[in-house]
Amino acid sequence: MGSKLRIVNGRLYDPANGVDGEVRDLCVEDGRIVESVGPDAKKIEAQGMVIMPGGVDIHCHIAGPKVNLARKLQPESHRYDVQPRTAFTRSGTGGTVPSTFTTGYRYATLGYTTAMEAAVPPIGARHTLEELHDTPVIDKGFYVLLGNNVLLNQLMKEGRRDELRQAVAWWLNATRAYTIKLVNPGGDEPWKGQRNAVITDLDQNIDSFDITPRQVITSLIEVANELGLPHPAHIHCNNLGHSGNYKTTLETMRMAGDSRVHITHIQFHSYGGEPGKNPTSMAPEIAAYVNDHPNVSADVGQVMFGKSTIMTADAPVAHLLRRLGSDKRWVNSDTECESGCGIIPFSYQEHIYTHALQWAIGLELFLLTKDPWRMVLSTDHPNGGSFMSYPRLIRLLMDRDFRDEQIKLVNQRAIRKTTLADGLSREYTLNEIAIVTRAGPARLLGLKNKGHLGVGAEADITIYEEDEDKEKMFTAPRYVLKDGKLIIEDHEFRGDNEGRILHVAPAYDPEIEKVIKPFFESYYSIRFENYAVTDHYLRAHEEIATAKPMAAE
């Protein structure tokens, strides 16, 4: 690198450092933000432009076994959305599940420079890392699925608490993951093993293991905190999508006590009503709980109208939804992995009651939550919609007139069940958008050098031309810099970048391998020695430090 750059006359939005729209110069040297650079530095004139840190996506699905299956399942979406190569970028295909190259480039065209793949079965770690290495421009990492792990379940059942913590630390190292992900905790294994048995209650006994979802959730929240992971347990609650599931969501948040916890795509978990009947909105109750509990954070999982791909490690819910897809295609897979998987091509439509309600609940959560640092933006890409719909979502949050027009176009029976009918007047400011799209997710992920523009921060910078139409403004930044390298200039690609894999490596006692190895030899189709991802498998990567373990002997 070594390049020096001074960006002049732009309006800076850097909420982590309390900078709210001040016009000031920003200097870059060797890939970092610096105090100043000499007169020989290259200059970017940014008058009339807004400068923000690069976007950080805390929850998306962009790599790994289920993502690849979803690509194979929808060849038509590639045929109709071809991205040709340019002098700087490689070719690819789009649709709701773009190819690896196109995923990286499209994030860059929105001004995003970091994205976290949110659900990988441990045995799929190598595959995921290969795809992430192949995803250009952005830094990236993944969350490893440990909420339906047979060996961990046994350790929980037998109360072997210390070994549980050691085993989780071993698994995080073996996969090079970023944090622990729970999906339908405790619910996938019985579904796979007992003729699609469905676990609906947090205190329901999971027969094959003699434990409950509550035990799985509380133990893994504790372990994540004890290991000092930079991001806490990332939880997709039980009963996703079911009417009445807000009770499960509230109870899951309560279980954390004062410990940090992140509830993902919380929109899909904010439904009232009787199970099996039409859902209602419980967004106000969920928002109130989050408002009152600073240990809890969430991402919204906004639904956006149009094509999506339901893609989840929650195998039972995909199995249940399989008839609701936009065509006959559906996959349940990965049943042999330490998790599950389901994929359904889908389309959200304005006139359908449930879809309109889901869209409205997402907006309610954004508008009713007081602290934008803890309710950050996601569509659970590609579940609620593609990440390419973020600019439209930003306009919905920033522009009340636009929002009110859109509200009129959707199923009114659904709108009447929500507080949107009361005319929520809040409009997000640019500062709040900077929080929910970059500063907030970076802070929740514990990424100290991202999401801000203070001295020492990574020079991941996005420069937008100001525009009344916020969708237009956020769709095509004028400049995007990654680690100080100019990737996009005047809306065109001018460079490429590999990006780093972000992962943790918490310390563990190697004695735990004596517990894990025999289990492998009895049950796995892969030898223990071949399972863990080794250093030589990683190309550009960065280990994010864990805090000192709390009270761990």
Q: Measured between alpha carbons, how far is 62 from 378 in angstroms, rounded to an integer?
A: 13
The label of the residue with tokens 């099996």 reads 276
Q: Residue 417 has which token pair?
A: 């069940």
Q: 285-313: string of b/e by CB count within 10 Å (b at 16+)?
A: bbbebbeebeebbbbbbbbbbbbbbbbbb
Report the residue number, 118 or 168, with the smaller CB distance to Zn ion.
118
Whole-number minimum distance, CB 529 to Zn ion, in Å?
32
Name the nearest CA neighbour of 528 among 224, 151, 180, 162: 151
Report the residue number, 262 or 438, with the smaller CB distance to Zn ion.
262
**How far lies 458's CA from each of 57, 71, 453, 461, 474, in Å?**
16, 32, 8, 9, 21
Whole-number minimum distance, CB 240 to Zn ion, in Å?
10
DSSP conformational letter for 182: E
**How far lies 89's CA from each of 105, 277, 517, in Å?**
8, 49, 43
Q: At CB < 8 A and 24+ separation, what contacts does 194-200 make?
A: 196/316, 196/319, 198/316, 199/238, 199/316, 200/238, 200/239, 200/242, 200/275
Report the residue number, 118 or 233, with the smaller CB distance to Zn ion.
118
Report the residue number, 118 or 321, with the smaller CB distance to Zn ion.
118
Report phi then psi at 503, rounded to 5. -150, 165
Report the residue number, 114 or 419, with the smaller CB distance to Zn ion.
114
Report the residue number, 119 or 138, with the smaller CB distance to Zn ion.
119
Report the residue number, 16 or 97, with the smaller CB distance to Zn ion.
97
Give the DSSP letter string of 288-300.
Answer: HHHHH-TTEEEE-
Whole-number minimum distance, CB 511 to Zn ion, in Å?
35
Q: Is 365 left (phi over 0), alpha (psi -120 to 50) or beta?
A: alpha
Residue nearest to Zn ion (CB): 380
Report phi then psi at 236, rounded to 5. -95, 110
Whole-number minimum distance, CB 394 to Zn ion, in Å?
20
Whole-number minimum distance, CB 381 to Zn ion, in Å?
8
Q: Is 246 exposed, middle or buried (0-12, 13-18, 19+ CB in 10 A)?
A: buried
Binding residues for Zn ion, rule: CB under 5 A, are: 118, 380
Report the residue number, 264 or 462, with the smaller CB distance to Zn ion.
264
Report the residue number, 163 or 380, with the smaller CB distance to Zn ion.
380
**3-class DSSP assignment, residue 521:** helix
Q: What angle do CA 230, 231, 234 make, to 5 degrees?
A: 160
Whole-number minimum distance, CB 339 to Zn ion, in Å?
13
Strands (E) in 64-197, as ranges, are 82-83, 92-93, 112-120, 139-145, 179-183
Whole-number minimum distance, CB 301 to Zn ion, in Å?
7
Whole-number minimum distance, CB 320 to Zn ion, in Å?
17
DSSP conformational letter for 122: G
**3-class DSSP assignment, residue 309:** strand
Q: What is the largest CA-CA distance in the chain?
A: 71
Report the residue number, 118 or 461, with the smaller CB distance to Zn ion.
118
Report the residue number, 380 or 496, with the smaller CB distance to Zn ion.
380
Report the residue number, 271 or 479, with the smaller CB distance to Zn ion.
271
Whole-number minimum distance, CB 15 to Zn ion, in Å?
25
Report the residue number, 33 or 118, with the smaller CB distance to Zn ion.
118
Whole-number minimum distance, CB 35 to Zn ion, in Å?
40
Whole-number minimum distance, CB 120 to Zn ion, in Å?
11
Residues 6+ apart with CB under 8 A from 334: 65, 66, 121, 124, 313, 315, 340, 341
Whole-number minimum distance, CB 249 to Zn ion, in Å?
15
Number of residues assigned to the chain = 553
Identity at 341, one-letter amino acid code? C
Residues 6+ apart with CB under 8 A from 94: 77, 78, 81, 82, 83, 102, 106
Whole-number minimum distance, CB 23 to Zn ion, in Å?
38
